[in-house]
Amino acid sequence: MKIIIGGCGKIGETLLAALVSEGHDVVALDNDPAVIAQITNIYDVMGVCGNAADCETLEDAGIAETELFIAVTPSDEVNMLSCFLAKRMGAEYTIARIRNPEYNDGSLGFMKQELGLSMAINPEQLAAKELFDLLKMPSAVKIETFAGRAFELIEMRLKDDSPLDGMMLKDLRDKYKTKVLICVVQRGDEVHIPSGNFVLRNGDRIGLTAAPYEMEKFLSNIGMLKKQARNVMLLGGSKTAWYLAKMLEETGSSVKIIEKDEKTCFTLSETLHDATIIHGDGSEHELLLEEGLHSTDAFISLTGMDEENILISLYAAQQKVPTVISKVNRNELVSMAEHLGIDCVISPRKVVSDVLLQYARALDNSRGSNVETLYKLMDDQAEALEFGVGMDSRLTNIPLRDLDLKPGILIAGIIRERQTIVPGGNDSILPGDKVVVIAANQRLADLSDIVK
């Protein structure tokens, strides 16, 4: 599929790399010659230098033959205008990054319709939603949801005192009397789709699937259910912090934001009525302690500097804050942060990349792909996909034990109307079901791809 990416900054390059790895024909468009030179030197893509909202530039990039145009320049207005022009000039689908909170209210639906946008994405809002979910279940390092939140997949790391150390997976359900499935395990650099004979070890990063109430019951039974974070300290007054604070305010949580830019502090105080805004440098430990770091349930570092976020998060973890989360965008620093002991790291770039990969994968399949949800797991070595099952699927009404699945594939969940099923060998897929599949080190575009 031919895709043009307008704007090759942090988000744009991350998205470009992901789409190139999926085999798409990608054109990079940016108004900075140095950026285009760097991009074309690293990736096998065509580069066009110019304004994404200029008709001649779009024509040079081949907009008339483009199936998907994605605008992620720093300007919301340029993104919207370039998508409008791209649609008029022949692009089949258009996606714009729209970050300004003023655009992300009731008027967004109207703008999408009038501009012909297929999708509007807001990295900061998406990241805030992921952070909000993590604060509701602090035991997890990552939470993904399927079928309108009827089914969950969480990632968590087994600590040194974990009761699951040395346990064989086939004994899990009998011992804890809960319907959960450990569907993927990362041990060191290797990712496993485990069988029932797989033995868990401390240090493993595991992915579990279950209905939300079963997940909570299981975490409680193994003593890893932390209380929901109600007293939250945010470092940095970014757009992500603003969106997260708004979500937390609506649930009655106590929010404190520490920001060193005075103008930003005034802006936050005018729009966040219940949050406490502190003007100061959060890298100063004394300030954090004075503002109640020891009594907070969760500390989240959201400054624009990855290194600062990591270092201050490490300090918060040393002060025994129950939940510490750090925003880290650079891939090489994500793994470093985890090795240093920060269990929960979030990357807005990755959040957006997952959403757009899901969209592109669904558009790309000539058979009419039915990928409805896609998440990258375990440092991108595995995927969790939700498929809608059509009436003509050749996999229906067959016991799962009789399906000849490819290696590295696991059917992790079936959602049937309001019923959530953690499947066994006797279960079958029926038309109309939603099916959650885990795939390690391979690309699926259709449910039929899971069989040999």
Q: Is the pLDDT of residue 386 over 70?
A: yes
What is the rounded average pLDDT of the residues 235-240? 94
Instruction: Evaluate whether 2-121 and 357-450 have a shared fold.
Output: no
Sheet of strand 93-97: strand arrangement = 46-49, 25-30, 2-6, 68-71, 93-97, 119-121
Give the N- to C-terminal CA distance of the chain in Å, as an integer.
25
Question: Going by DSSP bridges, is the β-strand pair 254-259/371-377 parallel, antiparallel, or unpaired?
Answer: unpaired
Structure tokens at 419: 């019923």
Please tell me the pTM assigned to this model. Answer: 0.86
Continuous segment of H or E residues that includes residue 257: strand 254-259
**How many angstroms separate the CA atoms of 127 and 326, rounded?**
12
**How many angstroms separate the CA atoms of 387 and 249, rounded?**
35
CATH number for the domain running over 357-450: 3.30.70.1450
pLDDT band at 69 (very low <50, low <70, confident <90, very high): very high
Q: Which residues contact 118 (CB under 8 A, 6 or more apart)?
A: 93, 94, 95, 359
CATH number for the domain running over 2-121: 3.40.50.720
Please, which residues bridge with residue 326 across strands? 301, 345
List the domain boundaries for the chain. 2-121, 140-221, 231-321, 357-450
| 177: DSSP letter | -
Where do we find the tokens 């409008």?
A: 84
The fold of 231-321 is Rossmann fold (3.40.50)
What is the rounded average pLDDT of the residues 156-176? 89
Q: What is the pLDDT of residue 406?
A: 93
**How many angstroms separate the CA atoms of 108 and 128, rounded?**
18
Q: Is the pLDDT of residue 450 over 50?
A: yes
Q: Is 179 exposed, middle or buried (0-12, 13-18, 19+ CB in 10 A)?
A: middle
Residue 167 main-chain phi, psi, to 5 deg: -90, 135
**How many angstroms separate the CA atoms of 98 and 382, rounded?**
29
Percent with pLDDT over 90 in the chain? 66
Q: Is the pLDDT of residue 304 over 80?
A: yes
Q: Is the pLDDT of residue 366 over 60?
A: no
The residue that leads in pLDDT, 350 or 275, is 275
Q: What is the pLDDT of residue 159?
A: 85
What is the rounded average pLDDT of the residues 286-302? 96
Q: Is the pLDDT of residue 432 over 70?
A: yes
pLDDT tens by residue, 93-115: 999 999 888 887 667 888 888 88
Q: Is the pLDDT of residue 339 over 80?
A: no
User: Tell me: domain 140-221, CATH 2.40.30.10, correct?
Assistant: no
Q: What is the pLDDT of residue 317?
A: 93
pLDDT band at 130 (very low <50, low <70, confident <90, very high): very high
Q: How far is CA 329 from CA 208, 350, 353, 418, in A?
A: 25, 8, 12, 37
If we measure between CA atoms, which residue out of 373, 351, 352, 377 comes closest to residue 362?
A: 373
Please, which residues bridge with residue 325 across strands? 300, 344
Q: Is the pLDDT of residue 354 over 60?
A: yes
Count of other CB atoms within 10 angstroms of residue 441: 12
Q: What is the pLDDT of residue 367?
A: 41
CB contact at 8 A, 217 and 281: no
pLDDT band at 362 (very low <50, low <70, confident <90, very high): confident
Q: Is the pLDDT of residue 173 over 70?
A: yes
pLDDT band at 334 (very low <50, low <70, confident <90, very high): confident
What is the rounded average pLDDT of the residues 223-228? 83
Q: Is the pLDDT of residue 365 over 70?
A: no
Average pLDDT, the chain: 91
pLDDT tens by residue, 435-447: 999 999 888 888 8
